[in-house]
Amino acid sequence: MILVTGATGFIGSHLMCRLAQKDIFPVALFRYESNKNRVRGLFEAQFSDAEKRFEKIIWRKADFRDFSSLNSAFEGITKVYHCAGYISLAHKDANKLLEINEKGSAYLVDLCLTYRIEKLVYVSSIAAMGNDPTTAIIDENTPWDNNSDKTPYAYSKYGGEIEVWRGIQEGLNAVIVNPGIVLGTDSPIAKILDRYKKGLRWFTPGSNGYVGIKDVIEVMDQLMNSKINGERFILVSENWTGKAIAQQMLRVGNRNKGVICIPKGLLYLLWVLEHLLQALGLRKRFLTRAMISSQFEKKEIDGKKIKSFIDFEYTPIEGMLC
Ligand SMILES: NC(=O)c1ccc[n+]([C@@H]2O[C@H](COP(=O)([O-])OP(=O)(O)OC[C@H]3O[C@@H](n4cnc5c(N)ncnc54)[C@H](OP(=O)(O)O)[C@@H]3O)[C@@H](O)[C@H]2O)c1
């Protein structure tokens, strides 16, 4: 039996749809009853017999901050897609990020080993990649660098990945995917893209790697059903600068406005102000130096390794920016 963690999330719910298309109804983890509606909504958009299919899902309640709830979720499981995770770039969320993304993954890996799971497909992130200042291209071999500034999110995803590598050393059959920013219906980035469509003109000039949700799910499915083991794969279709994204979305929204670059100095001023407010006990800070500098970096993230392992071509990004 397959287990999908994070089944109620963006990536997890699309994976649930893909599995349902193949008449596979896995054990799906949830925390809140209402969040199951995300999966129901996607099923309704895709299947004429949506409710019948939805009812075949075996829902189990579990939380990555409550390890005992995870033990019972593993009963009868042979394969695992680990899509659960907490996404936040805020400094104030550092502890929560480490708890869910790193410690939670460590416990999941232990359970996979205990239950002799046949295969684990683990969703990491490009945030867990190294960022060697001497190279303009980042790929799966770029070494992690503790010295450069990183967000708490990056540390938590890297920490989670390290736990999977530890599991692999201990005999676990696992593969890791490192998606860039994932585009698709209801994606975490959709709200920001929508703001551009409605006329937001401000951008930061750095670049980012983007990939479509269908591509991510296709790769995860193929990897689960392959003999590939002990590999990590960056999933990035194309690299776009913040300026190009802003211009494209304004075009899509029929807004004939020029775009304006946010000065780095302004963000550092806000960063200092936030430190002051935190010192006065008024609010916890959000911005980190790492977050600011990453918005100004123009690195290319190379996602082509996966194409030499499975039969797969990326979907171009422009059609998804609509
Ligand atoms: N979206 C992207 O662009 C992107 C890019 C690269 C990597 N990723 C990685 O992909 C994974 C999934 O991302 P997503 O976009 O699907 O995020 P999402 O929409 O926020 O979904 C996160 C999922 O994780 C679950 N979750 C969060 N905290 C949990 C906890 N303490 N215990 C159990 N489940 C918990 C959520 O459950 P609830 O419904 O109960 O909140 C939800 O199902 C994350 O690990 C993220 O780092 C995402």
Range of the domain at 102: 2-186+211-240+299-315
pTM of the model: 0.95
130: in domain: yes
Is ligand 1 within 6 A of the CB of residue 192?
Answer: no
Distance, CA 115 to ligand 1 centroid (Å)? Answer: 24
- Please write the tens of the pLDDT for every residue from 162-186: 999 999 999 999 999 999 999 998 8
Q: Of all atoms in ligand 1, which is nearest to the CA of residue 179?
A: 6
Mean pLDDT of 227-256: 95
Residue 55: per-residue pLDDT: 98
**Quick one: 6 exposed, middle or buried, by C-beta within 10 A (0-12, 13-18, 19+)?**
buried
Residue 79: per-residue pLDDT: 98
Is ligand 1 within 6 A of the CB of residue 8?
Answer: yes
Residue 168: per-residue pLDDT: 98
Residue 44's contacts (CB-CB under 8 Å, 6 or more residues apart) are 50
199: in domain: no
Is ligand 1 within 6 A of the CB of residue 14?
Answer: no
- CA dist 201 and 195 (Å) reads 9
Split into its structural domains, the chain has a count of 1
136: in domain: yes
Residue 39: per-residue pLDDT: 98
Residue 282: per-residue pLDDT: 85
Q: What is the DSSP string of 229-250?
A: -SEEEEE-SEEEEHHHHHHHHH
**In testing the pocket of ligand 1, which one of 10, 60, 216 has its CB within 8 Å of the most ligand atoms?**
10
CATH code for the domain in which residue 221 is found? 3.40.50.720
267: in domain: no
**Identity of residue 252:** V
Residue 299: per-residue pLDDT: 86
97 — pLDDT class (breaks 50, 70, 90): very high
Classified as helix, coil or strand, 138 is strand
